[in-house]
Each structure stands twice: as structure tokens, then as C-alpha cells.
Structure 1
């Protein structure tokens, strides 16, 4: 089987930090984010979070937010004179 299991002994994300989940389609990026956010039950272990959600975004709103941020960050990588 090509299935791999991600094992994280401890993960701590501080307020104000930005993280990215990178992987191919179907690799579990969204499932991991949803599990960390408490939207999916954990199969084992425990999750502790000390944050509160300010708002819930629709998929379309989140997609636009991520797209806008991706474009903003990538234009920072351009050489002088490029657009």
C-alpha cells in the first residue's frame, strides 16, 4: 500500500504564526487542518487549543483569501522590473 501515516508527537502553534500544509492532491492537507481545528474527530491522542474563532468563512471566501495571499507573497519574489 502507498498509504503513509503522519505521526506527530507534539505540535505547538503560537498566536501570529503562519503555517502551510504542502502535499499532492488527496494527501490529507485539508483533513489535517480540519482535525487540528476541531472540525474532525481524532482517531487517537488528544488536541488542546487555546484560540477562539472570530468568524467562519465559506469555502469560496477562504479560497479567495488564500489566493489573494498567495499572489501577494509570490509578487514579493519577483525581480526588479517584473510584474
Structure 2
């Protein structure tokens, strides 16, 4: 079965790869369409989750920096 390799490359250059197998009858158009739809339904939420997690980690780190710099001023 063919696989799709998704690579997320962060701003800092770190990479996260995930492999997704296309499952189904890939010899006909309907089967290919179904396999691609299944890929989107499986892969995209996982990619979105990774992106949201990274954004949350950046926001928490930024908040810690802000709080730390505010306490230094006191």
C-alpha cells in the first residue's frame, strides 16, 4: 500500500514526521477518492493537534517570560 509522509518543520528547524498508509482499492477512481478522504479525516486532525500544542507551548513560554520580566521590575 502507498504511504503519505507528512513532515512538520518548526521555525526552529525541528521536524516531526508521521506516515499514513492509503488503504483501499487504489485501482479505481472511487477507491482512490475514498482513500484520500480517509487520509484527510485521519491525518489532518493529528497535524492540527500538533500545531495547536506547539502554539500553546509557545504561548505558555512567552507568558512565563512576561511574568518573569514583570517580577524583575518590582
| TM-score, normalisation: structure 1 | 0.29
Q: Higher helix fraction: Structure 1 or Structure 2?
A: 2
Higher relative contact order by CA 8 Å / sep ≥ 6: 1 or 2? 2
| TM-score, normalisation: structure 2 | 0.32
